[in-house]
A and B are shown apart, each in its own frame.
Chain A
């Protein structure tokens, strides 16, 4: 894959790569460079480190701002080619550059994070020098934050691959140089991965690579700067479910051998004070209405892909009012398992439509989750997420039998 590169210092080797992902972030990349540089100096001053700006062809002067920011750390600028953008493409460029630099450790941070601190550099890269190959951050989260992770990614990835990685796909990540090579050769690369599906994809590829994985406790929420418009739910949902199903097809021989799950190693239990996450509001009535609207478009598809008992349960769920709404986790798991089987057997065009039909069902699960946890503390809601995961694991036999 071709990428645009500026390497004014002619850097040819590095032990540690700190990558900052950007897209039209000229206003903020200077701060990110400063904080990451301080983290590298404070925590990895003895390492041969390099800062790489992985840009998605910004047009606002991000590249110039990156080079102008005050820092002693050597710098390289990489960008996707004209017409190409997306986090996945930027990271693929990074994987190739890591291979060229023969780097041992890589951490990836998004430029658009407001509360990024030098400690994040230590929290993410530290485990890589203690035998870990893939590091996933564990942020402080409100119970309604990232429902896609709580209701879909965590239960399904844990049940399939047997590793408990609570916030897979949360944005930041760290991995060894060897893992970068694994990513370059891994299956399931798609348009979804080229975009924001890359986060979930990397986590699941790491889970199947039989390498040490850990979660690093960040002691802080992840506060992403708004760029004027909220991220759209539907495209993000499509990308994530596409990646989940694509990798189920690619790694069937692996996940069929997994039974139950194991905890993941923890890093960063250092007594730092833990911040309180901002409160999140969920508009339950709107989500419930979107679920009901889905019947007009997808009822026949659902009837075809779900086993009769599951479809009948869905029709029961349809009749519930928002006040008494619940979508049982077993029904949710079974629908996803049936959907994965249908996806495996479908051609490319039919696969896209099949992914779309799951959006109203996912919204129903979010409504159900919010109703169930509305009087719960964050910790109690976490227990409920664990219970969802156990239901997925208990029903895995059904998936294996259908597969």
Chain B
């Protein structure tokens, strides 16, 4: 069962994503602060990270760079309320992005694509 790490400083988003993704058959771990993220990734070894871009204590795009530096191939989906972040080229390092919504159809589609991605070794 693929393990998904949800990183968001809003508790209701963490709860929403957790419930829906658990129901969809994924194992889910949540992280509420950008500061905790890298140690949590090392500890939990997730198969995919859903990363909020605007957190109180951290810029998600800076965190994305940190993730790429240590876990080059770890799929990361950016989750955001606004799409202006795409003007920052750092966002190109993400596998996909989704606009936050209570309907997680698009997010689940992107999760499936990211987990299915296959490049020859």
A and B form one complex? yes
Q: State the A residues within 8 Å of B (CB).
A: 138, 162-164, 166, 210, 215, 217, 254, 257-266, 269, 379, 382-383
Are B116 and A254 in contact (CB-based, < 8 A)? Answer: no
Please provide the chain B residues from 71 to 121 with a CB less than 8 Å away from any CB of chain A in the complex.
72-73, 83, 86-87, 89-90, 92-95, 113-114, 116-121
- A264 vs B68: C-alpha distance in the bound complex, in angstroms? 10
A263-B95, A265-B72, A269-B65 given; A258·B118 CB < 8 A: yes
CB-CB nearest in chain B for A394? B113
CB-CB nearest in chain A for B112? A260
A379-B86, A379-B87, A382-B86 given; A266·B117 CB < 8 A: no
B114 surroundings in chain A (CB, below 8 A): 260
B83 surroundings in chain A (CB, below 8 A): 383
Given A262-B117, A266-B65, 18 other A-B contacts at CB below 8 A? A162-B118, A210-B120, A210-B121, A215-B92, A217-B89, A258-B118, A258-B119, A258-B120, A259-B118, A260-B116, A261-B117, A262-B73, A263-B93, A263-B95, A264-B92, A266-B68, A266-B92, A269-B89
A254 surroundings in chain B (CB, below 8 A): 120
A263-B94, A263-B95 given; A162·B89 CB < 8 A: no
- A315 vs B83: C-alpha distance in the bound complex, in angstroms? 37
Shortest distance from the beta carbon of B98 to any chain A beta carbon, whole Å: 13
A265 surroundings in chain B (CB, below 8 A): 68, 72, 93
- A254 vs B87: C-alpha distance in the bound complex, in angstroms? 33
CB-CB nearest in chain A for B87? A379
Total contacts A to B, CB within 8 angstroms?
53
CB-CB nearest in chain A for B69? A265
Shortest distance from the beta carbon of B2 to any chain A beta carbon, whole Å: 15
CB-CB nearest in chain A for B68? A265
Pairs across A and B, CB under 8 Å, 28 listed: A138-B89, A162-B118, A162-B119, A163-B119, A164-B92, A217-B89, A257-B118, A257-B119, A257-B120, A258-B119, A258-B120, A259-B117, A260-B114, A260-B117, A260-B118, A261-B117, A262-B117, A262-B119, A263-B92, A263-B93, A263-B95, A264-B92, A265-B68, A266-B89, A269-B65, A379-B87, A383-B83, A383-B86
Shortest distance from the beta carbon of A375 to any chain B beta carbon, whole Å: 17
Shortest distance from the beta carbon of B80 to any chain A beta carbon, whole Å: 13
- A264 vs B117: C-alpha distance in the bound complex, in angstroms? 14
- A258 vs B90: C-alpha distance in the bound complex, in angstroms? 25
- A193 vs B119: C-alpha distance in the bound complex, in angstroms? 25
CB-CB nearest in chain A for B62? A269
A-B CB proximity, top 9 nearest: A260-B117, A259-B118, A162-B119, A257-B120, A260-B113, A266-B93, A263-B93, A379-B87, A269-B90
- A28 vs B87: C-alpha distance in the bound complex, in angstroms? 35
Shortest distance from the beta carbon of B74 to any chain A beta carbon, whole Å: 11
B121 surroundings in chain A (CB, below 8 A): 210
B89 surroundings in chain A (CB, below 8 A): 138, 217, 266, 269
- A80 vs B82: C-alpha distance in the bound complex, in angstroms? 53
Shortest distance from the beta carbon of A203 to any chain B beta carbon, whole Å: 15
- A261 vs B73: C-alpha distance in the bound complex, in angstroms? 11
Among B92, B93, B117: residue with most chain A CB under 10 A? B92
CB-CB nearest in chain A for B90? A269
B72 surroundings in chain A (CB, below 8 A): 265
- A254 vs B118: C-alpha distance in the bound complex, in angstroms? 11
Shortest distance from the beta carbon of B66 to any chain A beta carbon, whole Å: 12
Are A259 and B116 in contact (CB-based, < 8 A)? Answer: yes
CB-CB nearest in chain A for B76? A263
B68 surroundings in chain A (CB, below 8 A): 265-266
A264 surroundings in chain B (CB, below 8 A): 92
- A155 vs B113: C-alpha distance in the bound complex, in angstroms? 17
Shortest distance from the beta carbon of A393 to any chain B beta carbon, whole Å: 8
Are B116 and A266 in contact (CB-based, < 8 A)? Answer: no
A138 surroundings in chain B (CB, below 8 A): 89
- A261 vs B117: C-alpha distance in the bound complex, in angstroms? 6
- A166 vs B90: C-alpha distance in the bound complex, in angstroms? 14
B65 surroundings in chain A (CB, below 8 A): 266, 269
- A162 vs B114: C-alpha distance in the bound complex, in angstroms? 12
Shortest distance from the beta carbon of B64 to any chain A beta carbon, whole Å: 10
Shortest distance from the beta carbon of A129 to any chain B beta carbon, whole Å: 16
Shortest distance from the beta carbon of A165 to any chain B beta carbon, whole Å: 11
- A383 vs B86: C-alpha distance in the bound complex, in angstroms? 9
Shortest distance from the beta carbon of B77 to any chain A beta carbon, whole Å: 11
A263 surroundings in chain B (CB, below 8 A): 92-95
0/1 string, B42-58, CB within 8 A of A gives 1: 00000000000000000
- A233 vs B81: C-alpha distance in the bound complex, in angstroms? 42
Among A257, A259, A260: residue with most chain B CB under 10 A? A260
